[in-house]
């Protein structure tokens, strides 16, 4: 994206405004999701696990999105299912972020052999297609929520570390970093005070992009039957269950599909907004 | 002395008992193919005055690949569809689930423990070799040889020896009267005969069946061709049978609708109903209720070694609600043996601790020392079976209302079966029971001497005795009464919590497929009489 | 240059070694007894398990098992499937061919859609640009398996007589083969086309501002001619690179899309193997897929280096 800076020059003002608009929209969508999921038990009209013989019912005033194959309210399951899905997504990305920060900072700042060893090891993990590696790890460890979080964290750590390392490599040659070093600042303080703030922008953008990809990976895993065990609902699992009956009750497919798209879209919008807004910030 | 019993009989069997068994069998065989395939088949094809047309390819959608094609060593249910077309046995089930002769032309029973079978002559194996008594002996020698590792060895435990009397006469000597013997011989693959001197049947099957092996591409398709040397005159009509594999129901049903396949079966009654409603051109037939959904209890340790806790669990279970929600009512409340078996439970009779009563369950729990409810921990279910997982989720809720909490653990089939066999599961575990040729096969899961019984901690000598006596009883009404008493005792002590019984498969096919009859034995034997009217 | 290529190849070998180790260890980390998993639906009598352990070499030290497995894998012997008891290799090759067909078709569809919409957005600007970018933003948020599921749902609801599931082999009917792969390839291509469209748009905009295009324009060449002669040549390089890099995404996506459309490729094979816990197959697929990704990435690295070298001259 840096490449088309010359093109973007005349539109810079517009880009920033657009960026703030996008960011605002994304954050509003995120807030909506967070409120719905945090207060899920209060918001959900029914107990998401309560079954009834009224199965595969169409949309009605009582069940806005109908019921699933064993008579559970689809809307309630979507809302509560968002909890599990987002919990796994956000915790996994946070762990990957912390791990990526430590490894990326260490590699980029220390350089030399440390850099070599860290990046080479990460390259091995990076060589796997993300979903494939996640499937293999979950299949081996067993699909529980902690295992899913751990797996996805492992899968995304190398990408995070790369994002952190690249700016660190260039930043550490900068004048004020050199100056700080010559003044005799301790290494740790140097990293925290001068290098970390400069790599923050790309990290923020990368984090929100990774969040959108993680939603995909988490739901894809549950779609493949490698999600958290029942009866707790989750979006991928709901979609896959509903596939069996989709001609009978199309809404049971459409509901989770829209939820997944909404969540992914939220993080993509935030990422794009951040990119526009922060790019300008870094120029200054 | 009683007549030989034909398990899984209905009222028409009473007539059979009046006749001398030899004359019955001779009558059945004398008429040849037309008489040997009566009932539904004739009502579907012959009654309409239609003559079967030869030729064509029948494409069947299946949801699982076969695992091995040697009937002696095969364990996987998914292989049965193939073995039942490739191999035949001395006896077979007809459309009404009565035993009728097949490779045998009849048998004599000089005494209750001895069966002498006369064999059909001029039968050929797919490799051109003639079928004779030596092949029958070879088959049973293989089954009885511990090195073969055949699961059939236990089923034929009453067989003491098999001897070749002459090339077309073979004698089975039993060590006890065995009501299950003939049913096992009639079932495929349990009674399938394999040729002597042929190796590697696992991948290169050679049998006497109506269709011969052509090709197999795992996960894609399995094709069979008409065996010209098949012994039933004119059969089979089809030139070719192709099985295509689709691993989930959504794909299967879609393939059926678009005519990529001509017939299939689905596991979920709701899907079956929806499809047959979608077009008038579908023929749909539920099987008999041949399958039950039980919860196996680990009674070796606290808290399930206490009968009060087990009874509380039974009382906390609303079987009717499970049935209505999971199966949309297409099934019946279940007991140890399904309705289609001798003395099977009809779903309505009174059984102890069957009435849903959470309050009584709570009271029993308090009596057992758990006034504040009880956490039973892991409840292990088969992850690959959506119906099982759905029912387990409903049970979890029902038990919660009575103060019993469980955690669902869906598990892969292989490790789950291993746990079940070894008794290495914490408290509760569900594996649905499929069709068996004889109810004794089901009771064997619970006797204190069997591996499975030991694994769950069965320890009721009286029950063992009742089960042994029922197996030895050849008189059908008496055996039914004995089987009912056994089921009552199991419910009384809540050794196993049975929830519901239902057909294993709902078969569906396009109406241009003629002459096909679904069989409760859950195999597709009647592909041999199927033809296409296109 | 030769040194660089040799270095990349050596590095590739090292990564593949690491990948193989990870693939091996993962499948040995499964909870429970590997021999029981290997027994599959067979009885789990102790004697049977002992035989299986011996046959699979499970009684050997772990490192020896790994080396043995790697040695066999290098000669194409991935062992036998726990389920079908057939060698994994034959089946894997057949399925790899199907997945190759599918991903190739998806790549073509993605390239056509992406380049066309990217060019349109960059050339026409205005409302078209805005629409294309909105569409791209939306499509980026729709996972391929959701697209696939919705396609199957729509056909099931409105055109139940049309076969959208299943696969027709090329030799059986070349046209049927194409038809059976079209929808799954489209589902797979959608997200990839977005990346290509964005890259095309950015590249065209960037190249359009560069001196040689300005010169060409000043010479009086028509915009269409400029586009053809200069833009396509210079702008497509990064586009093709991006498409190449998407191979991992396509391979990953094929797992889901093949499963939904019942295409007997490597992805569906993996899915089935996970469900039946067929570990030798999972291992082989993980190794092969990662191997392909590493190979493609190395090839791109080397190609890049060649282009760079030429540029610097």
Q: What is the ipTM of this complex?
A: 0.81
Which residue's entry shows tokens 């056509």?
A: C112
Give, rounded to a whole angstrom, the gap between the first and last alpha carbons of chain A: 17
Is there a contact between A49 and B248 if contact means CB atoms under 8 Å apart?
no
pLDDT in the model for residue B151:
79
Q: Is C264 on the interface with B (CB under 8 A)?
A: yes
C30 CB neighbours in chain A (<8 A) are 139-140
B75: how many CB neighbours lie within 10 A of its CB? 18
Is there a contact between A7 and C209 if contact means CB atoms under 8 Å apart?
yes
pLDDT in the model for residue B42:
39
Nearest CA in chain B to C155: B254
Q: Which residue has the higher pLDDT, C155 or C223?
A: C155
Nearest CA in chain A to B271: A245
Is there a contact between A136 and C31 if contact means CB atoms under 8 Å apart?
no
Nearest CA in chain C to B67: C84
Of C33, C160, C166, the CB nearest to B257: C160
Average pLDDT over residues A141-153: 89
Q: Which residue has the higher pLDDT, A273 or A195?
A: A273
A66 CB neighbours in chain B (<8 A) are none
Q: In whole angstroms, what is the distance from residue B454 CA to residue B423 CA? A: 8
Q: In whole angstroms, what is the distance from residue B422 CA to residue B124 CA? A: 43
B27 falls in which pLDDT band (50, 70, 90)? very low
Residue B374 structure tokens? 């009880």
Of C83, C164, C166, the CB nearest to B67: C83
Q: Is B97 left (phi over 0), alpha (psi -120 to 50) or beta?
A: left
Q: Minimal CA–CA distance to A235: which of A250, A205, A255?
A: A255
Is there a contact between A243 and B250 if contact means CB atoms under 8 Å apart?
yes
**How much of chain B, in percent, has pLDDT values that exceed 90?**
54
Is there a contact between B255 and C161 if contact means CB atoms under 8 Å apart?
no
Strand runs (DSSP E) across A140-274, as ranges? none
Q: Are β-strands B374-382 and B404-411 bridged in parallel, bridged antiparallel, or unpaired? A: parallel
B394 CB neighbours in chain A (<8 A) are 51, 70
Give, rounded to a whole angstrom, the gap between the first and last alpha carbons of chain B: 52
C51 CB neighbours in chain B (<8 A) are none
What pLDDT, in 10s, does the model give residues B425-438? 999 999 888 778 88
What pLDDT, in 10s, does the model give residues C165-202? 778 888 878 888 888 899 999 999 988 888 888 888 88
pLDDT in the model for residue A11:
43
Nearest CA in chain C to A225: C275
Residues 6+ apart with CB under 8 A from B371: B365
Q: Exposed e or buried b for every residue in B288-325, given b needs 16+ CB within 10 A?
A: bbbbbbbbbbbbeeebbebbbbbbbbbbbbbbbbbbbb
Is there a contact between C22 and A123 if contact means CB atoms under 8 Å apart?
no
Q: In whole angstroms, what is the distance from residue C208 CA to residue C129 CA? A: 16
Instruction: Kindly state the helix (H) or strand (E) to which residue A63 belongs, with its residue range.
Output: none
- Top mean pLDDT of B72-86, B156-170, C35-49, C162-176 is at B156-170
pLDDT in the model for residue C47:
62
Half-sphere exposure of A59 (CA within 13 A, CB side): 9
Nearest CA in chain B to C83: B67
Average pLDDT over residues B400-418: 85
B250 CB neighbours in chain A (<8 A) are 243-244, 246
A52 CB neighbours in chain B (<8 A) are 325
Average pLDDT over residues B229-255: 88
Maximum separation of any 2 CA atoms in chain A, in Å: 75
Q: Which residue has the higher pLDDT, B375 or A17?
A: B375
Is there a contact between B325 and A247 if contact means CB atoms under 8 Å apart?
no
A56 CB neighbours in chain B (<8 A) are 270
C206 CB neighbours in chain A (<8 A) are 3-4, 6-7
Average pLDDT over residues B176-203: 91
Instruction: Kindly state the helix (H) or strand (E) to which residue A192 belongs, with its residue range.
Output: none
Residue B256 distance to chain A (closest CA, Å): 14
Query: For residue B108, what are the β-bridge partners?
Result: B116
CATH 3.40.710.10 at B289-503, yes or no: no
pLDDT in the model for residue C229:
65
Is there a contact between C264 and B219 if contact means CB atoms under 8 Å apart?
yes
Q: Kindly tell me if the per-residue pLDDT of B416 is higher than 90.
A: no
C243 falls in which pLDDT band (50, 70, 90)? low
Which residue's entry shows tokens 């870094």?
A: A282
Q: In whole angstroms, what is the distance from residue C173 CA to residue B176 CA? A: 60
Residue C210 structure tokens? 């560069």
Q: In whole angstroms, what is the distance from residue A200 CA to residue A204 CA? A: 6
Q: In whole angstroms, what is the distance from residue C205 CA to residue C210 CA? A: 9
Q: In whole angstroms, what is the distance from residue B288 CA to residue B297 CA? A: 27
Cα→Cα distances C220→C216, C224, C225, Å: 7, 11, 10
Q: Minimal CA–CA distance to B297: which of B222, B351, B377?
A: B377
| DSSP line for C113-138 | HHHHHHHHHHHH-HHHHHHHHHHHHH
pLDDT in the model for residue B44:
45
B15 falls in which pLDDT band (50, 70, 90)? very low
B231 falls in which pLDDT band (50, 70, 90)? very high
Strand runs (DSSP E) across B306-362, as ranges? 332-333
Nearest CA in chain A to C160: A247
What pLDDT, in 10s, does the model give residues B307-327? 999 999 999 999 999 999 888
Q: Minimal CA–CA distance to A198: which of A104, A262, A268, A113?
A: A104
Q: In whole angstroms, what is the distance from residue C51 CA to residue C71 CA? A: 22
B202 CB neighbours in chain C (<8 A) are 85
Q: Kindly tell me if the per-residue pLDDT of B18 is higher than 60.
A: no
Best mutation target among B248, B249, B250, B400 (most A Cβ atoms within 10 Å) is B250
**How much of chain A, in percent, has pLDDT values that exceed 70?**
90
Radius of gyration of chain C (CA): 24
Q: In whole angstroms, what is the distance from residue C22 CA to residue A154 CA? A: 13
* Lowest-pLDDT range of B318-327, B495-504, C122-131: C122-131
Q: In whole angstroms, what is the distance from residue A145 CA to residue B380 CA? A: 18
pLDDT in the model for residue C244:
63
Instruction: Kindly state the helix (H) or strand (E) to which residue B31 belongs, with its residue range.
Output: none
Residues 6+ apart with CB under 8 A from B450: B444
Could you state, in order of their start, the residue ranges of all structural domains in chain B?
289-503
B65 falls in which pLDDT band (50, 70, 90)? confident
Residue B97 distance to chain C (closest CA, Å): 28
Is there a contact between A6 and C206 if contact means CB atoms under 8 Å apart?
yes
What pLDDT, in 10s, does the model give residues C246-262? 777 788 888 889 988 88
pLDDT in the model for residue C32:
59
Of A53, A230, A246, the CB nearest to B389: A230
C245 falls in which pLDDT band (50, 70, 90)? low
Is there a contact between A136 and C26 if contact means CB atoms under 8 Å apart?
yes
* Lowest-pLDDT range of A23-32, A192-201, B33-42, C210-219: B33-42
C-beta of residue B464 within 8 angstroms of C-beta of residue B450: no
- Top mean pLDDT of B495-509, C38-52, C216-230 is at B495-509
pLDDT in the model for residue C226:
67
pLDDT in the model for residue C237:
64
Is there a contact between C14 and A223 if contact means CB atoms under 8 Å apart?
no
Q: Which residue has the higher pLDDT, C244 or B253?
A: B253
Nearest CA in chain C to B74: C42
Q: Kindly tell me if the per-residue pLDDT of A71 is higher than 60.
A: yes
Is there a contact between C40 and B254 if contact means CB atoms under 8 Å apart?
no
pLDDT in the model for residue A3:
34
Cα→Cα distances B262→A101, A143, B56, B516, C114, Å: 58, 37, 12, 12, 40
C-beta of residue B520 within 8 angstroms of C-beta of residue B288: yes
Is there a contact between B393 and A70 if contact means CB atoms under 8 Å apart?
yes
Is there a contact between A139 and C277 if contact means CB atoms under 8 Å apart?
yes
Best mutation target among C30, C32, C90 (most B Cβ atoms within 10 Å) is C32
B372 falls in which pLDDT band (50, 70, 90)? very high
Q: Kindly tell me if the per-residue pLDDT of A18 is higher than 70.
A: yes
Of B268, B321, B326, the CB nearest to A244: B268
Average pLDDT over residues C120-147: 85
Of B271, B397, B410, the CB nearest to A49: B397
Residue A61 distance to chain B (closest CA, Å): 21
Q: Kindly tell me if the per-residue pLDDT of B46 is higher than 60.
A: no
C-beta of residue C75 within 8 angstroms of C-beta of residue C30: no
Residue B253 distance to chain A (closest CA, Å): 9
B147 falls in which pLDDT band (50, 70, 90)? confident
Neighbours of chain B (3+ CB pairs under 8 A): A, C
C149 CB neighbours in chain A (<8 A) are 239, 243, 246, 253, 257
Q: Which residue has the higher pLDDT, A163 or B70?
A: B70
Residue B394 distance to chain A (closest CA, Å): 6
Query: For residue B333, what are the β-bridge partners?
Result: B500
Average pLDDT over residues A97-108: 90
Q: Exposed e or buried b for every residue in A166-183, given b needs 16+ CB within 10 A?
A: ebbeebbeeeebeebeee
B364 falls in which pLDDT band (50, 70, 90)? very high
Residue B9 structure tokens? 């009989």
Count chain A–chain B contacts defined by CB atoms under 8 A. Answer: 58
Average pLDDT over residues A58-79: 88
Of A70, A229, A244, the CB nearest to B325: A70
Mean pLDDT for chain C? 79
Mean pLDDT for chain B? 85
Residue C171 distance to chain A (closest CA, Å): 30
Average pLDDT over residues A162-184: 75
Is there a contact between A51 and B325 if contact means CB atoms under 8 Å apart?
yes
Is there a contact between A250 and C209 if contact means CB atoms under 8 Å apart?
no
Under DSSP, the state recorded for C246 is T
What pLDDT, in 10s, does the model give residues C35-62? 666 665 444 556 666 777 777 777 778 8
Q: Is C85 on the interface with B (CB under 8 A)?
A: yes
Nearest CA in chain B to C274: B412
How buried is residue A189: exposed, middle or buried, by Cβ count under 10 Å (0-12/13-18/19+)?
Answer: exposed
Is there a contact between C91 and B219 if contact means CB atoms under 8 Å apart?
yes
How buried is residue C233: exposed, middle or buried, by Cβ count under 10 Å (0-12/13-18/19+)?
Answer: exposed
What pLDDT, in 10s, does the model give residues B434-483? 778 888 888 988 998 888 888 899 999 999 999 999 988 888 899 999 99
Residue B301 structure tokens? 């340790």
Residues in chain C: 313
Instruction: Kindly state the helix (H) or strand (E) to which residue C55 belongs, with its residue range.
Output: helix C46-56
pLDDT in the model for residue C46:
60
B519 falls in which pLDDT band (50, 70, 90)? confident
pLDDT in the model for residue C242:
63
C-beta of residue B83 within 8 angstroms of C-beta of residue B188: yes
Q: Kindly tell me if the per-residue pLDDT of B241 is higher than 90.
A: yes
pLDDT in the model for residue B7:
34
Q: In whole angstroms, what is the distance from residue C182 CA to residue B221 CA? A: 22
B518 falls in which pLDDT band (50, 70, 90)? confident
């Amino acid at each position: 994206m840096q490449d088309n800076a010359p093109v973007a020059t005349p539109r810079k003002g517009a880009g920033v405004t657009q960026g703030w608009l996008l960011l605002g929209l994304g954050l509003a969508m995120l807030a909506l999701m967070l409120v719905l999921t945090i207060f899920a038990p209060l918001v959900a009209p029914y107990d998401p696990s309560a079954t009834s013989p009224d199965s595969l019912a169409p949309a009605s005033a009582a069940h806005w999105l109908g019921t699933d194959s064993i008579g559970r309210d689809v809307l309630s399951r979507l809302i509560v299912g968002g909890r599990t899905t987002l919990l796994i997504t956000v915790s996994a990305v946070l762990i990957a972020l912390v791990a990526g920060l430590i490894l990326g900072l260490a590699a980029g700042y220390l350089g030399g052999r440390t850099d070599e060893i860290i990046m080479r090891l990460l390259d091995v993990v990076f060589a796997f297609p993300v979903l494939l590696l996640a499937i293999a790890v979950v299949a081996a460890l067993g699909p529980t929520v902690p295992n899913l979080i751990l797996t996805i964290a492992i899968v995304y750590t190398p990408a995070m570390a790369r994002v952190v390392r690249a700016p660190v490599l260039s930043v550490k040659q900068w004048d004020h970093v050199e100056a700080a070093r010559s003044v005799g600042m301790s290494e740790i303080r140097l990293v925290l005070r001068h290098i970390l703030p400069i790599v923050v922008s790309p990290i923020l953008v990368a984090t929100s992009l990774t969040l959108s990809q993680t939603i995909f990976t988490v739901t894809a895993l549950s779609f493949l039957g490698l999600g958290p065990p029942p009866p707790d609902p989750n979006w991928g699992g709901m979609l896959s269950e509903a596939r069996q009956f989709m001609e009978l009750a199309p809404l049971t497919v459409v509901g989770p599909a829209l939820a997944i798209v909404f969540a992914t879209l939220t993080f993509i919008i935030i990422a794009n907004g951040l990119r526009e807004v922060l790019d300008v910030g870094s120029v200054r | 002395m009683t007549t030989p019993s034909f398990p899984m009989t209905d009222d028409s069997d009473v007539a059979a008992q009046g006749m001398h068994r030899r004359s019955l069998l001779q009558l059945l065989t004398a008429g040849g193919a037309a008489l040997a395939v009566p009932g539904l088949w004739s009502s579907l094809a012959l009654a309409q005055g239609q003559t079967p047309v030869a030729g064509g390819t029948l494409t069947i959608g299946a949801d699982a690949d076969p695992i091995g094609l040697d009937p002696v060593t095969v364990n996987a249910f998914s292989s049965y569809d193939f073995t039942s077309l490739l191999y035949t046995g001395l006896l077979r089930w007809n459309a009404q689930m009565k035993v009728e002769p097949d490779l045998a032309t009849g048998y004599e029973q000089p005494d209750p423990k001895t069966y002498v079978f006369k064999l059909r002559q001029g039968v050929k194996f797919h490799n051109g070799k003639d079928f004779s008594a030596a092949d029958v002996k070879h088959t049973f020698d293989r089954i009885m040889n511990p090195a073969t590792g055949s699961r059939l060895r236990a089923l034929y435990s009453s067989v003491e020896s098999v001897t070749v009397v002459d090339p077309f006469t073979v004698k089975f000597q039993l060590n006890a009267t065995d009501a299950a013997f003939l049913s096992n011989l009639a079932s495929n693959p349990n009674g399938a005969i394999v040729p002597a001197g042929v190796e590697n049947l696992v991948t290169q099957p050679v049998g006497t069946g109506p269709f011969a092996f052509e090709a197999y591409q795992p996960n894609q398709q399995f094709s069979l061709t008409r065996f010209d040397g098949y012994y039933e005159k004119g059969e089979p009509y089809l030139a070719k049978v192709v099985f295509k594999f689709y691993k989930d129901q959504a794909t299967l049903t879609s393939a059926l609708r678009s005519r990529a396949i001509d017939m299939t079966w689905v596991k979920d009654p709701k899907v079956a109903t929806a499809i047959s409603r979608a077009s008038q051109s579908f023929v749909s037939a539920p099987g008999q209720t041949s399958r039950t959904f039980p919860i196996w209890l680990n009674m070796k340790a606290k808290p399930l070694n206490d009968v009060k806790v087990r009874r509380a669990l039974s009382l906390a279970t609303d079987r009717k609600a499970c049935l209505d929600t999971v199966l949309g009512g297409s099934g019946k409340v279940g007991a140890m043996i399904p309705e289609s078996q001798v003395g099977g439970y009809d779903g309505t009779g009174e059984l102890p601790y069957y009435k849903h009563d959470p309050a009584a369950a709570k009271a029993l729990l308090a009596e057992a020392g758990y006034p504040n409810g009880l956490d039973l921990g892991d409840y292990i279910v088969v992850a690959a079976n959506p119906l099982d997982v759905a029912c387990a989720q409903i049970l979890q809720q029902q038990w919660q209302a009575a103060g019993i909490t469980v955690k669902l653990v869906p598990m892969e089939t292989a490790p789950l079966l291993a746990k079940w066999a070894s008794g290495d599961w914490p408290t509760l575990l569900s594996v649905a029971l499929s069709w068996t040729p004889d109810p004794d096969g089901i009771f064997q899961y619970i006797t204190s001497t069997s591996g499975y019984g030991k694994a769950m901690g069965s320890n009721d000598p009286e029950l063992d005795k009742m089960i042994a006596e029922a197996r030895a009883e050849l008189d059908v009404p008496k055996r039914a009464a004995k089987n009912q008493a056994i089921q009552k005792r199991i419910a009384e002590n809540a050794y196993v919590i049975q929830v519901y019984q239902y057909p294993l498969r709902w078969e569906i096919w396009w109406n241009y497929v003629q002459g096909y009859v679904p069989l409760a034995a859950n195999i597709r034997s009647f592909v041999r009489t199927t033809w296409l009217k296109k | 240059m030769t040194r660089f290529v040799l270095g990349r190849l050596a590095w590739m070998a090292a990564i593949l070694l690491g990948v193989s180790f990870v693939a091996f260890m993962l499948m040995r980390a499964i909870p429970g007894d590997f021999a029981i998993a290997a027994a599959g639906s067979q009885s789990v009598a102790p004697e049977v398990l002992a035989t299986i352990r011996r046959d699979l070499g499970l009684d050997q030290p772990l490192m020896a098992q790994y080396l043995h497995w790697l040695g066999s894998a290098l000669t194409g012997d991935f062992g036998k499937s726990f389920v079908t008891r057939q060698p994994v290799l034959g089946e894997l090759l057949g399925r790899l061919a199907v997945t190759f067909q599918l991903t190739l078709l998806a790549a073509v569809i993605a390239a056509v859609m992406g380049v066309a919409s990217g060019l349109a957005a960059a050339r026409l600007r205005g409302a078209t640009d805005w629409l294309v970018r909105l569409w791209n933003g939306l499509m980026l948020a729709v996972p391929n398996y959701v697209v696939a599921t919705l396609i199957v749902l729509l056909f099931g609801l409105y055109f139940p007589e049309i076969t959208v599931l299943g696969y027709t082999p090329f030799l059986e009917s070349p046209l049927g083969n194409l038809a059976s792969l079209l929808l799954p390839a489209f589902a797979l291509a959608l997200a990839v086309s977005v990346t290509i469209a964005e890259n095309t748009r950015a590249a065209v905009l960037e190249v359009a501002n560069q001196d040689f295009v300005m010169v060409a324009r000043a010479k009086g060449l028509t915009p269409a001619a400029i586009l053809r002669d200069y833009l396509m040549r210079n702008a497509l390089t990064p586009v093709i690179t991006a498409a190449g890099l998407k191979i991992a995404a396509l391979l990953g996506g094929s797992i889901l899309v093949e499963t939904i459309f019942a295409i007997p490729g490597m992805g569906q094979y993996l899915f089935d193997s996970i469900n039946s816990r067929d570990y030798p197959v999972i291992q082989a697929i993980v190794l092969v897929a990662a191997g392909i990704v590493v190979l493609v990435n190395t090839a791109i690295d080397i190609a890049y280096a060649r282009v760079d070298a030429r540029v610097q001259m």
